[in-house]
Amino acid sequence: AGAAELAPLASGADAHPAAHARAFMLERAGDAAAALAEADRAVALAHAAGAEFELGFYAANRARLQRKAGAAPSADTVPWGDPVTFEGNGHRYALIEVPLPFSDALKICEQRGGHLATVADAAENAFLYQTFGKHRLCWLGGTDAGTEGEWRWVTGEPWGYTNWAGNQPNGPDKDAGGEDFLNFGTSPDLREHGIEGRWAPGPRWGDDPIHGMVEDARSRHPAMLLMLTYAICEWEG
């Protein structure tokens, strides 16, 4: 069945939830390509409407459908914020304005000729937090996915300055799932949506699993999940 036979098109405030529902219906009907396209549309509509809570669900569903279809994430299908320059080093930074798994964010930054943001000192950390992380969780380009406890930047530059929050990094070892990916920022308050507010490190650093999903949302909404971690890309030239 085609999308039009599965759920009606909608406009206004109903457009993004209708597109999200159509993606699930198309998936159940066995049309993986159309389901992914409709998931893309749901994300774009939610972003345009400023529906941040729904965007977290829709982005997680799109990432799930991408993995299922073997489709690579694309820098051309995500919305980007305007680049800003940090005078302390002359580097440019921009926000990918939808939540993503760390692995997808890494690839998308590289597709645009950059990399996930790395942090050399307290001034750069403060700039990135004030510019991007004050109202959202953001991936930074740090990981210990290679060897547990040995943190490195994705660029290979020296791992010098650190800004861990108390009791961080605290992820379990890889046999227990692992929390191998660096983020910071202020998480939105989700209590009005029936989900306990997520701990977030603010301007300090924490470690998270690759999907960056809220554990409570995974149990409450297993079909959709809730992804909240955005990403900051950096260009050095």
pLDDT band at 34 (very low <50, low <70, confident <90, very high): very high
**Locate tokens 């926000």: which residue?**
95
pLDDT of 8 reads: 57
Q: What is the pTM of this model?
A: 0.91
Average pLDDT over residues 169-184: 77
Does the pLDDT at position 4 exceed 80?
no
pLDDT of 214 reads: 79
Does the pLDDT at position 1 exceed 50?
no
